[in-house]
């Protein structure tokens, strides 16, 4: 899949807002990693780590896995090994569905920094 920065960010926002809405509709915490995979499959996408930003970064890092996070359009630096400024790890481990949905919305609406 070839993504421009604008398209990667747009798809990223759509997916994370979908996840936030799914959590609220279900009224319970979801497995974000599984739901991302389902979202990708149902919408015909095939992205590295089921992430539009990772796919964009990988392509723009000469298809090298090392240091690809430096090319992420929503990752602030210095990079401290915390995807999406640490919000991703919080979202996937959150036990309260209200907070998990809120974290998904925060991730969807991160500012483009690179």
pLDDT tens-place string over residues 75-114? 665 555 567 778 898 999 999 999 999 999 999 998 888 6
Mean pLDDT across the chain = 89
pLDDT score recorded for residue 103: 95
Asked if the structure places residue 23 within a domain, the reply is: yes
Is 80 exceeded by the pLDDT of residue 47?
yes
φ/ψ of 3, rounded to 5, equals -125, 135
Domain count, the chain: 1
Asked if the structure places residue 71 within a domain, the reply is: yes
Is 80 exceeded by the pLDDT of residue 16?
yes
More confident residue, 84 or 58: 58
Distances (CA, A) of 105 to 54, 60, 100: 18, 26, 9
What pTM was computed for the model?
A: 0.90
Q: What domain range includes position 77?
A: 5-108
């Amino acid at each position: 899949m070839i993504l421009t920065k604008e398209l990667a960010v747009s798809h990223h926002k759509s997916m994370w807002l979908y996840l936030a809405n799914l959590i609220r509709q279900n009224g319970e915490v979801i497995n974000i990693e599984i739901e991302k995979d389902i979202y990708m499959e149902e919408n015909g996408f095939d992205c590295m780590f089921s992430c539009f930003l990772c796919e964009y970064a990988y392509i723009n890092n000469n298809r090298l896995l090392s240091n690809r996070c430096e090319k992420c359009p929503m990752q602030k630096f210095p990079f401290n090994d915390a995807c999406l400024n640490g919000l991703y790890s919080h979202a996937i481990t959150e036990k309260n569905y209200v907070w998990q949905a809120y974290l998904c919305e925060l991730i969807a609406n991160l500012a483009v920094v690179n």
